[in-house]
Structure 1
């Protein structure tokens, strides 16, 4: 059978059976739950990764029911907490962040939407999912309620926690499946995986969109994209991968991004594959040496803090908006005008 004989959809379902999700379904779900797209796709992959329309519709109902029953809306947090108390045990979907309480020598979780903090987390879970410590990750977790009079501990207990992300990837199966596609078909497939419809773009534009994915797969790859507002520049780094983090507003610290001297832990660049800044105009370090450390890291993939030299593999992405045409911007100032002054020099770019 020739590669061109089948449509991309047919090829995907043939060679990647059980791992194909219809993107239009995520849009239907996204409107009702404010969670990243990869969370929705994880759930759809469990119930809707087939071609049969009847099965897909049933699976869609199941996913909607799971989101309705288990996703914690911030405005319904008290209702969910009450349900956990009355039932005794309840499964929820929430973003979980873990911090070390040095005074008590235990790890404690914070549930973003539920608004609960101080939940004890075992060291085994933290070692298995280190991203809990930096930025947090979306999880399906089972909460129990046990109140003990006089205890300072939270009555909420985590009995089970499972990150919402794909299990280990078999790259050999990907390589084998790739052989069944032409270059153009594979390019279109990758764009569709990000939520874009390739048939409406020229090939040059397709390659531009594909370039946004490079930081997700290449270590220490630094990328800057400046363009008009509302063109999806930051969408890639926030929605499609559980291995990238978007720093909104640009406000951060050296301890958070690079290295915390007191806890001796590497920051975001040591835990995430990609660290993206949503608005370059707002990038600001509370520490005076922040920009210089960033320059050092981007140039060499390492930086020094105290007596330590730290290596990390994270790619750095800078996304910014320009309010004029490129021609006007070049005539009146320069292309990097959206960046803060301290970052505009030959050493940085």
Structure 2
């Protein structure tokens, strides 16, 4: 186990489970992840391998004996008849039979309908009335000819945590650093934290805010395959995922025919899957939804009803971000009825799904995370608390932003604070980081509304600190594609830049005549558009001896960075010239197989570049701290992070553009300083 796994087991005994076990026990049981983890928590919440193996066998045995497969429904019914009573795992929904004046249950997989269920059970578990809940139920069968109700529910228990100790949860959180806690939450969601960038981890956690913040309206649009619906279908028994095309006023709010309250009255989160691309939308539904999102109420005849369900709207985009910015807006995939400024203004945060990694096998973790049902109860408990004013001691939002903008920022900030700092112990820098991210998400919404509704004026988003210093906040797309993000403001600048580029292309001037940059260059975090060809190649041109000092040339992505730099040297030098490249790095000593991989990788790079005129030599040194490139032409380039300026990524697609175009890779924040002797 990793140090984090050990710490998690010690701080939360019996409440964490190895996340790869779900896949091992699922088999062909089509049940949500929280159901499987509920069972795993009973038998496998330990770090003892023998106990885990025995627990997996027990869970498999329970699923084999009690989970109802649709194709085996008749066999299960016959078993209940023969035994008289049998326990099953199935999704149970309840309706009121007004003719008989009783509640009756429906078992989804077993195919039973109209089974009487006592009113006390329904009152204790009202969510049975709104779409159904996964349960463990003991069913009895009454034989003979005279029985109107042959099927009898002897006992029923929803599959979720029995109790939650909030004080223990908050006290245990204090034992973890911020980075450790974020990694633990990331593992709980199912991903390996070492394969995700810090920003990508926060993006994953934003998906949890609707569970921890009341009346929170989140939209996430992005490419297919990024796991947008996973959180809402698998993670919590307090959330309901429905297809966007199945949304109706009676189902969501109230059925005026019988007065029955819809989903928003019973669930913490209602998520709309496949929300983008719908053709037909009920206009009355849009109007009621806008009112609910703004006022937290809806009407049932003359009665106004309040609810605290959060809403998450998730859908797929069909075009890349630059194309959307150049020709329409980032909401272009929404149905026409929702592509409306008044509706969009109710959204608190726009999660940029294009920044979330596409789900691949290597992203999944085999580490420990919370039993999701336990974390779901923690989030449900924290919904009643408000952390939205924590930043107010240190920062003030711009006076230009509207009340709705301010609410969006504050609710996102509150949700992230409760997720990461439930004990409220966050430094000023940590608070500022969450505040900036919260502002960015609301700014993304507002900037697109300004594109849609030309009567609205742009808003300057930012904040001031206690000294009165102003800080602008920009969205990531604004940083990546400034000439497209603000089309009108940047059109003249864009034309000027394009003219300058064309002039340079046609002038015939050699690249060597360009003035090389000197002094420090700050590279922002998570940016696009940087490459070794731009950062280093101009300064290395003409050198025949180059020394690279970098303590960390070990991991596969670090060795790839070295290879990419050597490629730029090969391209920049005359074909008949030999360039001596000497590497000074640290040796991998933590594990024998890792050490072998480092040596093999360096050897393969040497062999691959030798025929192209690179004489590569390597020196292993201890206690290296400096990171730099020096040349015999007098250049010394100080590397804040060494060559490791890009966030690591993995891809099963051999045609992934990031493998060949460094400009498509996200950066890490660092500083490169150019000195000329």
Whole-angstrom distance in 2 between the partners of 1:231 and 1:215: 18
Match of 2:234 in 1: 239
Q: Shift of the alpha carbon at 1:80? A: 0.6
SS at match of 2:291: helix
- Cα pair distance change 1:344/1:138, threshold 3 Å: same
Structure 1 residues 254-281: Cα deviation after superposition (integer angstroms, max 9, x where no partner): 1110012233232100100000001113
- Cα pair distance change 1:250/1:169, threshold 3 Å: farther
Match of 1:3 in 2: none
SS at match of 1:341: coil
For the pair 1:211 / 2:206, whether they are aligned, the reply is yes
Structure 1 residues 101-128: Cα deviation after superposition (integer angstroms, max 9, x where no partner): 0010000000000011110000000000
For the pair 1:161 / 2:156, whether they are aligned, the reply is yes
Q: Give 1:40's match in structure 2, choosing from 33, 36, 42.
A: 36
CA contact (8 A) 1:253 1:285 kept: no
Match of 2:304 in 1: 309
Match of 1:117 in 2: 113
Q: Give structure 1 stretches of 5+ with no counterpart.
A: 1-5
Match of 1:295 in 2: 290
Match of 2:166 in 1: 171
Q: Give 1:141's match in structure 2, choosing from 134, 137, 140.
A: 137
SS at match of 2:164: coil
Match of 1:62 in 2: 58
Q: Give structure 2 stretches of 5+ with no counterpart.
A: 345-677
CA contact (8 A) 1:252 1:284 kept: no
SS at match of 1:176: helix
Q: Shift of the alpha carbon at 1:151? A: 4.2
Q: With structure 1 as the length reference, what TM-score do the two structures score? A: 0.95
- Cα pair distance change 1:284/1:269, threshold 3 Å: farther
User: Which segment is superposed worse, 177-186 or 258-267?
Assistant: 258-267
Match of 1:320 in 2: 315
Q: Shift of the alpha carbon at 1:339? A: 1.2
Q: Give 2:17's match in structure 1, choosing from 21, 38, 50.
A: 21
SS at match of 1:247: strand
- After TM superposition, which residue ranges in structure 1, 4 or more long, deviate above 6 angstroms? none
For the pair 1:78 / 2:62, whether they are aligned, the reply is no
SS at match of 1:119: strand
CA contact (8 A) 1:251 1:282 kept: no
Q: Shift of the alpha carbon at 1:284? A: 7.9
CA contact (8 A) 1:249 1:282 kept: no
User: Which segment is superposed worse, 100-109 or 142-151?
Assistant: 142-151
SS at match of 1:343: coil
CA contact (8 A) 2:223 2:317 kept: yes
SS at match of 1:56: helix
Q: Shift of the alpha carbon at 1:28? A: 1.1
SS at match of 1:72: coil
Aligned length: 343
Q: Shift of the alpha carbon at 1:285? A: 8.0
Whole-angstrom distance in 2 between the partners of 1:249 and 1:274: 14
- Cα pair distance change 1:99/1:298, threshold 3 Å: same
Alignment of 1:217-228 (within 5 A): 217-228=212-223
Q: Give 1:87's match in structure 2, choosing from 75, 83, 88.
A: 83
CA contact (8 A) 1:95 1:138 kept: yes
Whole-angstrom distance in 2 between the partners of 1:84 and 1:122: 20
CA contact (8 A) 1:250 1:284 kept: no
SS at match of 1:40: helix
Structure 1 residues 139-170: Cα deviation after superposition (integer angstroms, max 9, x where no partner): 000111013525443x1111010110112211
User: Which segment is superposed worse, 287-296 or 63-72?
Assistant: 287-296
CA contact (8 A) 1:274 1:314 kept: yes
Structure 1 residues 39-81: Cα deviation after superposition (integer angstroms, max 9, x where no partner): 0000000011111110111011000000001000111111111
For the pair 1:31 / 2:27, whether they are aligned, the reply is yes
Q: Give 1:329's match in structure 2, choosing from 324, 332, 339.
A: 324
User: Which segment is superposed worse, 300-309 or 281-290?
Assistant: 281-290
CA contact (8 A) 2:317 2:333 kept: yes
Match of 2:334 in 1: 339
Whole-angstrom distance in 2 between the partners of 1:147 and 1:335: 61
Q: With structure 2 as the length reference, what TM-score do the two structures score? A: 0.50
